């Protein structure tokens, strides 16, 4: 039997970044159900670091994560974790007040440029003329999720940690002060500490261990890619988002990608795009921009998993010794992963608290489990 100090269930960005941070002081094994890391949500995202989603707590976690993306630890390869891509949030006349409110909220965290209609169209010439107002963060970052996942894996392995793929956990028991975990293949692992970073499946993993669920809600989001109009300078385009949650688009590998920002409730699964949301993405792209979506080149969907208050959960389960929740990263799990990993290491290893703007209680799973008792 494999007996590390800490077992992590889930080889997405949450599990791998936490495992990398923990491995500096503990022997860590990550168990991932799929053949590849990042196969589910972490490999299907829009890969942006920006402040136009979530609330103050999510923005604080994002801000605290930024230095990591710009200066990753030495064990990461030399591949940059991302590149600068401006973030533009645009509004029509009737959406101006909402833009003002977002401006005030984001300005606490990032330097924003306020744009008039000319500025909006200079930054994003594809928008229709009714995009009259904008706020731009020229310091936005587009992440390379492969480099981020592999970098964390490299750090874990450098410290002597281990990743097991094709290792779907199907049984979890507490025996003599240890969590004994068995995979579908029959391999057994035991450790005093278990980190539940199973993404959309985190409540199901908790149920295997007899731990009360948080009430997580996976929601599907869809992305399509298609050709930009001939002559479009893709390199200079921003990540452009409507002030309401209707549409975002950005350059993607020589084309454009767009999402209708759908949030369709789903069971945990290998999410697939639905034709309605695919058509909606194309429709909204044509509604808000001058682009004609003649042919959809590719499409995919992924799950964004939320806790009931839409803040992530990081902390020990109040009802089970040695069971640590790391779940509910919603639509911001990549951009907050360094901060969440540092918080996990702090709580498990007893290190000093890493982020003064965020209280441990705000992330504690205890805020939900009482409701499900």
Ligand X SMILES: Cc1cc2nc3c(=O)[nH]c(=O)nc-3n(C[C@H](O)[C@H](O)[C@H](O)COP(=O)(O)OP(=O)(O)OC[C@H]3O[C@@H](n4cnc5c(N)ncnc54)[C@H](O)[C@@H]3O)c2cc1C
Out of 20, 23, 40, 147, point to the residue binding ligand X (CB under 6 A): 40
Q: How far is 103 from 142, CA to CA, in rounded Å?
A: 21
Measured from the CB atom, the residue of 132 and 358 that comes closer to ligand X is 358
325 binds ligand X (CB under 6 A): no
As a dihedral over the C-alpha atoms of residue 342, residue 198, residue 360, residue 173, rounded to 10 degrees, the angle is -110
Output the furthest CA–CA distance in the chain (Å, rounded).
68
Task: Pick the piece of the chain touching ligand X (CB under 6 A) from 225-233, 279-287, 330-338, 346-354.
Answer: 330-338
Per rule CB under 6 A, is residue 335 in the interface with ligand X? yes
**Residue 226 to residue 304: CA distance in whole angstroms:** 23
Stretch that binds ligand X, among 34-42, 91-99, 272-280, 289-297 (CB under 6 A): 34-42
| Closest CB 103 distance from ligand X, rounded Å | 20
For 168: left if phi > 0, alpha if psi spans -120 to 50, otherwise beta; the answer is: beta
Instruction: Select from 90, 212, 221, 299 the one that contacts ligand X (CB under 6 A).
Output: 221
Eight-class DSSP state of 200: G
Residue 140 binds ligand X, judged by CB under 6 A: no
Judged by CB, which is closer to ligand X: 183, or 346?
A: 183
The window from 109-117, 125-133, 323-331, 339-347 that contacts ligand X (CB under 6 A) reads 323-331
Complex with ligand X: residue 44 or 212, whichever CB lies closer: 44
46 contributes a contact to ligand X by CB under 6 A: yes
- Which is closer to ligand X, CB of 32 or CB of 121? 32
* Inter-CA distances, 291 with 163, 188, 343, 349, Å: 44, 54, 43, 52
Q: For residue 31, state whether it binds ligand X (rule: CB under 6 A).
A: yes
| Nearest Cα to Cα of residue 307 among 205, 201, 218 | 218
Of 264, 251, 263, nearest to 225 by C-alpha is 251
Among 142, 132, 139, 59, which Cα is nearest to 102's?
59
**Residue choice 7, 8, 10, 82 for contact with ligand X (CB under 6 A):** 10
Residues 105-124 close enough to bind ligand X by CB under 6 A: none
Task: Please state whether beta strands 323-327 and 193-196 pair in parallel, antiparallel, or not at all (unpaired).
Answer: parallel
223 binds ligand X (CB under 6 A): yes
Q: Which stretch binds ligand X (CB under 6 A): 67-75, 118-126, 285-293, 298-306?
A: 298-306
**DSSP code string of 23-68:** TTTS-EEEE-SSSSTT-SGGGSS--EE-SSSS-HHHHHHHHHHHHH
Binding of ligand X at residue 91 (CB under 6 A)? no
Site membership for ligand X, residue 312 (CB under 6 A): no
Q: Which of 134, 302, 315, 338 binds ligand X (CB under 6 A)?
A: 302
The binding site for ligand X (CB under 6 A) comprises 9-15, 31-34, 38-42, 44-48, 168-169, 197-201, 205, 221, 223, 259, 302-304, 329-335
């Amino acid at each position: 039997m494999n007996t590390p100090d800490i077992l992590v269930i889930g080889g997405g960005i949450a599990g791998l970044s936490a495992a990398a941070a923990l491995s500096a002081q503990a022997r860590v094994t990550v168990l991932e159900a799929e053949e590849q890391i990042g196969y589910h949500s972490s490999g299907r995202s829009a890969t942006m670091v920006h402040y136009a989603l979530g609330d103050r707590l999510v923005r604080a976690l994002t801000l605290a994560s930024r230095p990591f993306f710009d200066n990753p630890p030495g064990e990461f390869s030399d591949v940059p974790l991302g590149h600068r891509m401006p973030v533009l949030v645009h509004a029509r006349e009737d959406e101006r007040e909402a833009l003002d409110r977002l401006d005030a909220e984001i300005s606490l965290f990032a330097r924003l440029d306020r744009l008039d209609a000319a500025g909006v169209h200079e930054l994003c010439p594809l928008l229709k003329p009714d995009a009259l107002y904008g706020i731009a963060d020229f310091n936005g970052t587009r992440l390379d999720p492969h480099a981020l996942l592999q970098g964390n894996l490299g750090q874990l392995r450098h410290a002597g940690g281990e990743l097991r793929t094709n290792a779907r956990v199907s049984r979890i028991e507490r025996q003599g002060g240890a969590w004994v975990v068995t995979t579908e293949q029959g391999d057994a692992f035991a450790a005093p500490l278990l980190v539940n970073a199973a993404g959309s499946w985190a409540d199901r993993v908790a149920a295997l261990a007899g731990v009360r669920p948080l009430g997580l809600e996976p929601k599907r989001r869809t992305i399509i890619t298609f050709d930009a109009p001939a002559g479009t300078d893709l390199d200079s385009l921003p990540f452009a988002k409507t002030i309401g949650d209707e549409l975002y688009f950005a350059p993607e590998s020589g084309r454009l990608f767009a999402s209708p920002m759908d949030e369709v409730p789903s069971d945990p699964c290998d999410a697939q795009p639905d034709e309605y949301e695919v058509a909606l993405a194309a429709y909204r792209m044509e509604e808000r921009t001058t682009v004609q979506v003649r042919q959809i080149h590719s499409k995919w969907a992924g799950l964004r998993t939320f806790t009931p208050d839409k803040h992530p959960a990081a902390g020990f389960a109040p009802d089970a010794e040695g069971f640590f929740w790391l779940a509910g990263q919603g639509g911001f799990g990549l951009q907050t992963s360094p901060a969440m990993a540092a918080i996990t290491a702090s709580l498990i290893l007893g290190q000093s608290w890493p982020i003064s703007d965020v209280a441990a209680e705000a992330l504690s799973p205890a805020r939900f489990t009482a409701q499900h008792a």
